[in-house]
Chain A
Amino acid sequence: MAFFFEVFVSGLMVGIMYSLVALGFSLIFKASNVFNMAQGAMSLFASLALYGFLEQFFHFPFWLAFLCTVGVMTIIAYVIVFVILKPLVARPPLMLFMATFGVMYLLEGFGQSIYGTQAKGLEIGIPDNVYEVVGILISSFDLFFAGIAAALVGGLAWFFQKTRNGRALRAVSDDHEAALSVGIPLLKAWYLTWVIAGVVATVAGVAWGTRIGVQFSLSLIALKALPILIIGGIDSIPGVIIAGLIVGAGENLGEVFIGPYVGGGIQTFFPYLMALVVLYFRPYGLFGKEIVERV
C-alpha cells in the first residue's frame, strides 16, 4: 500500500507540472477563444531564452535572467497579438487555431536557430533532497515546483477577481462584443492575456527545463496538457489544476499497475483515453461551463 501511495504522490507531482503548461492554454482560450497550439513552443522558447541569459550568452544572476526572459516573452506576445492575430480578428476560430500552428513552427525554428538544438542542462540551484513523510518519499524539487504552481494559481485568482485589468479580461472572455461595447479594448486585453500566458510558459519552461533539460521535447509536453484541458474544462483554472493532478496520478498509476500487463509505455496515450471517457460523459469537462455546442 505504501508503494501505491508513493506512485500516486509522484504522479501528483508530475501532474502539477503538467497543469503549469495547461494553465497557459486555458488563460488564452478564456480571453480570446483561441486554442493556442504554440503554448508548448512558448515554454521551449522561454527556457531557451533563460538558458541564454544564464549561461550561453550572458551570465546573469537567476532573478535578472528570469526578468529578462519575461521581457522577451512580452515582446513575443506583442508580435503574436498585433502582427498575427490582429488581421484575423473576425475570422472563424479554426483560422486562429491554425495560425497558432504557424506560430509554433516559428518559435521552434527561431528558438533553436538562436540557441542551438543540443539538449542543455538548466541548473537554478534548487536542492534535490529526498524527504520521508509518513513513509512516502518526496523530493524537495517536486515540492518546490508544487509550491510555485500553487502561488501562481493563487496570484492568477487574485488578479482575475480583484484587479481592474483582471475583471476586464473576464468580461472579454464572457462575451467579446459586450466587452467591446462597454469600452474594453479587445486587442489590449488579448495582449495582456498573451503576456500572462508567456509568464506562465516561462515558469513551466523553467520547471520542465530543470527537470528534463532544455530540449525540443519540451515543446511536445504541450501535447500532454491537451487532455488535461478536456478533463478539467477548458475555461476553468481550478479545473485545469485538478485535472492535471488527476492525469499525473492516473498515468503514473496506470503505467505501474496496468502497464506491465499490456507491454508498458502506455503513458503516451493514457491521458487521452481518460479525456475520451470524460468527453463522452461530460463534453464540457468536469468543471467547465456547459457551453460546448452539441452537434
Chain B
Amino acid sequence: MAIFPIPLDRWGFIFMLFLAFIVVPLFASEYLVTNIIIPFYCFALSAFGLNVLAGYAGQVSLGHAAFMAVGSYASFILYGRYGIPLIPSILGAGVIAAIVGTFFGLPSLRIKGFYLAISTLASQFLIEWIIVHWQWVSGGVFGTIEAPDMFIFGGAIDTYIKKYYLVLCMVILLMTFGKNLVRGQLGRNWMAIRDVDYAAEIIGVNLYRDKLIAFSVSTFYAGVAGSLITLCYVGVANIEEFNVMVSFALVGMIIIGGLGTILGSFLGAGFFVMLPIAINQGLGTFMEVVKPDILSNIEAIIFGGLIVFFLIVEPYGMARLWHTIKEKMRLWPFPY
C-alpha cells in the first residue's frame, strides 16, 4: 500500500488490474490482443528500462534496441536449444542482456552526455553485426530463428489468451520490482547522479557502482522485453525487429510519456503502439486504402511534433498531467 499513498491512485491501479486481467481477455478480439496489447506491454517494459537509465540515472542510451535483440536471441537459445524452462529462460535472457549491457555501460565511467550517447550507438551496431555474423547465435539465414512451442509445467502456451497472461504477469512482476527499486535507496542515488553528479559523489553516492547497476537493471528490462516480443508477439527472432530506429523510438517514447516515471513508460509505449493504428482508423474514414508510406510519414510527423511539443510545454511528459491531478486530489477538497 505504501506504493500508492493516495486512494485515487490505489483505486485507479486496482481498476487497471481489473481491466487487464478480466475485461481485456473477455472482450478484446484476437487481433487487438496480439497486435496491440501484447506489444504495448513489451514496449512499456523496454521503455521503463530506458527510463531507469535516462530518466532516473540521466545516462542517455541510443542503443537500447540492441539489448532487446540480445534478450530475444538469448531466450531462444536458452529455451529452444537447451530446453531450460520457459520462465527461467526469459529471466535468464534478461540476465544475459544485463551482462552485455553492463559491459557496454563501462564507458559511462569516463564520459557522459553526447559522448556516452554515441558510444551506446556503437553497441547498437556492434551487437547487430555480431548477431548476424555469429552462426551459433543467429542459427538460420539473416539472423532469423523460428519460435519454438512454449510450455510451462507441461501446459502449452498456445492460444493468444495464454500468451497475454504470460506477458501480463511478467510485466506486473517486473514493474512492481522496478517501482520498489526506484523509490528506494538505489533510485534516490540515481536521481542524485542525474541532477548533479559531483554533488552526488560528495554526499557519498558511489557513482561507478550505481551507474553500472543502472545499466544492468535497464538492459535487464530491455532483454526481458525483447524475449517477450519474439516469443509472444512476432514469433521469430529477427534482427530487423530491433534496429536503430527502434532505439530512437524508445527515446521518443520516454520523452512523450514522461522522463523518470513508471506511468510515463506505459503512456509513451501505448502512444507509440496505438499511433499507427489510430492514424489508420482516422484516415480510413476519408480514403479507402491508406498507403503504408503515407501512414509512416504522418506517424513520423505526429511523433516528432509531440516530442517537440512535450519538451517545450511539459518536459515531464504525459505522466506529469496525471501527477497534477494527483496533487490536487491529495489536498482535496481543500486546495490550500
Contacts and interface: CB of A to CB of B under 8 A. Distances in A.
Contact of B311 (A95, A117, A265, A295): A95
B300 interface: yes
Interface in B265-309: 293-294, 296-308
B331 interface: no
A106 B301 contact: yes
B295 to A, nearest CB: 10
Given A103-B304, A108-B300, A98 B294 contact: no
Contacts of A230: 115, 118
Contact of B133 (A87, A105, A107, A262): A262
A295 B132 contact: no
Given A88-B311, A94-B60, A106-B304, A112 B297 contact: yes
B126 to A, nearest CB: 5
Given A99-B307, A227-B118, A94 B113 contact: yes
A227 B111 CA distance: 15
Contact of A105 (B125, B207, B300): B300
B244 A223 contact: yes
Most chain A beta carbons < 10 A, residue from B60, B248, B301: B301
Contacts of B248: 101, 104
Interface string B216-245: 000000000000000000000000000010
Interface majority SS on A: helix, strand, loop or mixed?
Answer: helix
B18 interface: no
A68 B121 CA distance: 35
B16 interface: no
Interface string B303-325: 11111100110010000000000
Contact of A113 (B132, B207, B298, B311): B298
Nearest to A29: B114
A84 B306 CA distance: 12
B114 A263 contact: no
Contacts of B251: 98, 101
A42 to B, nearest CB: 13
Given A102-B305, A262-B133, A283-B110, A113 B115 contact: no
Contacts of B298: 109, 113
Nearest to A106: B304
Contacts of B58: 94
A35 B129 contact: no
Interface in B107-125: 107-115, 117-119, 121-122, 125
A269 interface: yes
A231 to B, nearest CB: 11
Nearest to A108: B300
B306 to A, nearest CB: 8
A226 B244 CA distance: 14
A102 B311 contact: yes
Contacts of A101: 248, 251-252, 255, 304, 307
Interface residues of B, number: 47
A276 B110 CA distance: 12
B197 interface: yes
B49 to A, nearest CB: 17
A272 B122 contact: yes
Interface in A197-229: 220, 223, 226-227, 229
Nearest to A96: B311
A93 interface: yes
Given A91-B315, A272-B125, A295-B108, A106 B308 contact: yes
A268 interface: yes
A105 B304 contact: yes
Contacts of B312: 84, 87-88, 99
Contacts of A84: 308, 312
Contacts of A103: 304, 308
A294 interface: yes
Given A117-B293, A292-B111, A226 B133 contact: no
Contacts of A262: 133
Contacts of A275: 118-119, 122
A35 B244 CA distance: 18
B113 to A, nearest CB: 7
Given A98-B255, A105-B252, A106-B304, A283 B115 contact: yes
Interface of B: 58, 60, 107-115, 117-119, 121-122, 125-126, 128-129, 132-133, 197, 207, 244, 248, 251-252, 255, 293-294, 296-308, 311-312, 315
22 contacts: A88-B311, A98-B255, A99-B312, A101-B248, A101-B251, A102-B303, A102-B305, A104-B248, A105-B304, A105-B305, A106-B301, A107-B304, A109-B297, A117-B293, A230-B115, A234-B114, A262-B133, A273-B122, A276-B119, A279-B110, A283-B110, A292-B111
Interface of A: 35, 84, 87-88, 91, 93-95, 97-99, 101-110, 112-113, 116-117, 220, 223, 226-227, 229-230, 234, 262-263, 265-266, 268-269, 272-273, 275-276, 279-280, 283, 292-295
Given A98-B307, A223-B244, 5 more contacts: A97-B117, A102-B303, A117-B297, A223-B121, A283-B115
Top 10 A-B residue pairs of the complex, sorted by shortest distance between their CB atoms: A105-B304, A109-B300, A102-B307, A272-B122, A109-B301, A106-B304, A102-B308, A269-B125, A113-B297, A117-B293
